[in-house]
Amino acid sequence: MLSSPSSQRKLYGLDDVFNKIIKLINDKKLPNRILIKGPSGIGKCTMAYHIINYIFSSNEENKYDLENNIIDTNNQSFKLINNNSHPNFHLIKLMVDKKNIEISQIRKMIDFTNKSAFNNKPRFILIDNAENLNKNSLNSLLKITEEQNENIYFILIHNINKKILNTLSSRFLSFNINLTYDESIIITNKILNKNIHDLVNSDLINHYYSPGDFLNLINFSNEFKIDLNKLNLKDFLIFLIDNNLYKKSIFIKSFIFTFIEFYFLKILTSSINKNKISSYYSFFLNKFNYCDKFNLDYESLFMEFKSKILNG
């Protein structure tokens, strides 16, 4: 299993934004509310953990290595955060099998803000995937962020492929992150210490994958013992549908539509009957969105997609 953002000790490819934030810290101008925006899997959350460790470790042994953008594995704050026991750090993220960050999570965060900081040091609240805040949790968050506390910092992570309310984003200093496809490949290879093209069939590699997407794909293949070198995109989709793997893997559940869209675009470029394929594409895309919106079972729809498109 590859590293989670909290345990990813090396930061790759985000130097420009990271250095801007480090300069704000060193100049004592870091705002209390920061929003880091970019596509999913690009390293936003990893960078947030590096920013937090840079501050926490500044007066500790084994402090942050700024020259190489590396967290020291022996640093106490790094260990505490990964053990979910750091007294000055609070994480909010989408819980398993939930569609929204709930008000109960914000209430726990408010309890955290009401406690005294350990050693009078800065406290950090990290909210991953802030686009998942529901109306009630968002309103509570807005209220607490309005209350000035110089020693509490909010860092929100936002997947720009999903909307976030202006009432939230307007109150935060935003930093936008993006990577080219080539940059994503380079970063992925550095994290894996291998060439992604040696692990995954080129037919499965899409030009808008992020490093996180690649790493999730590798994690998925390791978990279900799948040789991704031997499967093209069509065979991969058939395998996912036949084995109901979209029900067994969080990554596949959230990403299968990307694979399906990629397949439609692929056959559309090579098909003689483009109008027919386009019609199918619109039909299935609408159906998938409907199932997703109303949390319906996809099984019959995936079987229809397999019958009409994959085996058609």
Identify the pLDDT of residue 191.
92
Distances (CA, A) of 35 to 7, 72, 83, 109: 21, 25, 25, 18
Confirm if 310 and 238 have CB atoms less than 8 A apart: yes
Identify the pLDDT of residue 147.
76
Q: What is the pLDDT of residues 222-251, one digit of tens each?
A: 999 999 999 999 999 999 999 999 889 988
Q: What is the pLDDT of residues 6-37, one digit of tens each?
A: 999 999 999 999 999 999 999 999 999 999 99
Q: What angle do CA 25, 26, 31 make, to 5 degrees?
A: 25
CATH code 3.40.50.300 region(s) in the chain: 5-176
Which CATH number applies to 5-176? 3.40.50.300
Identify the pLDDT of residue 38.
95
Distances (CA, A) of 1 to 142, 185, 195, 220: 36, 19, 17, 9
Identify the pLDDT of residue 2.
61
Identify the pLDDT of residue 188.
95
Rounded average pLDDT per 10-residue block, the chain, 312 residues: 84 95 96 95 96 96 97 97 96 88 94 85 95 91 81 95 87 94 94 94 89 93 94 95 92 89 90 88 87 81 93 83
What is the reported pTM? Answer: 0.90
Tokens 């300069």 label which residue?
23
- Closest to 88 in 3D by CA, of 60, 129, 46: 60
Question: CA-CA distance, 223 to 89, in Å (whole number)?
Answer: 31
Which residues have a Cβ under 8 Å from the Cβ of 243 and sit 6 or more positions away? none
Identify the pLDDT of residue 1.
54
Tokens 């704000």 label which residue?
24
